[in-house]
Amino acid sequence: MSRIDLPATSEAAPAASQPLLEGVRKSLGSVPNLFRITANSPAALEGYLGLNGALSKGRLSPQTRERIALAVAQINGCDYCLSAHSYLGRNLAKLDEAEIAANRNGRSSDPKADAAVRFAALLVRERGQVSDADVAVVKLAGYDESEIVEIVAHVALNTLTNYLNEALDTPIDFPVVSARAA
């Protein structure tokens, strides 16, 4: 049971959140619990959807975005996000089980993606306090400044959802994956 209200339907959410939730439903076919619990604050829901939408138009591939989400969720111990991104990674990004396991361990079998995932994991562990050498490694792997900024932004976006789900105990509505099982 969540620690705050989880609107049972989009209509039960605050009025300002209802059109945003309808957009989620049209996009995904349903409204996962993360969106419903975040809808308690229309401003937070709008902010999350805005950043998520903007980053989806960025230069990082959907596969790399899912890889980063898995690494961040594992480090932050967020079972909700691990469950969601394992499902999305498998079914939308077409990552195989070995790749998902590597991502959860802060790595990738793809050499270029490996640099992004390792950098993302380092950002989480070091709370953004990375070195010149750490950034240079990502550049050497072939990421430009725009993509490096996007990696940082994806870490921030995923940390937001990790914190929301952990702090509010959002019920998992995907096949359950546990951070403790890495």
Tens-place pLDDT, residues 33-91: 999 999 999 999 999 999 999 999 999 999 999 999 999 999 999 999 999 999 999 99
3-state helix, strand, coil in the chain (%, to 5): 70, 0, 30
So where are the chain's domains?
Answer: 13-56, 62-181
Question: What's the CATH class of domain 62-181?
Answer: mainly alpha
Question: What's the mean per-residue pLDDT of the chain?
Answer: 97
* 3-state SS, residue 110: coil
Amino acid 1: pLDDT:
87
Amino acid 58: pLDDT:
98
Q: Where residue 121 falls among pLDDT bands split at 50, 70, 90?
A: very high
**Which residue is associated with the tokens 């019920």?**
171
* 3-state SS, residue 50: helix
Distance (Å, rounded) from C-alpha 117 to C-alpha 179?
Answer: 17
Distance (Å, rounded) from C-alpha 113 to C-alpha 107?
Answer: 8
Q: Where residue 15 falls among pLDDT bands split at 50, 70, 90?
A: very high
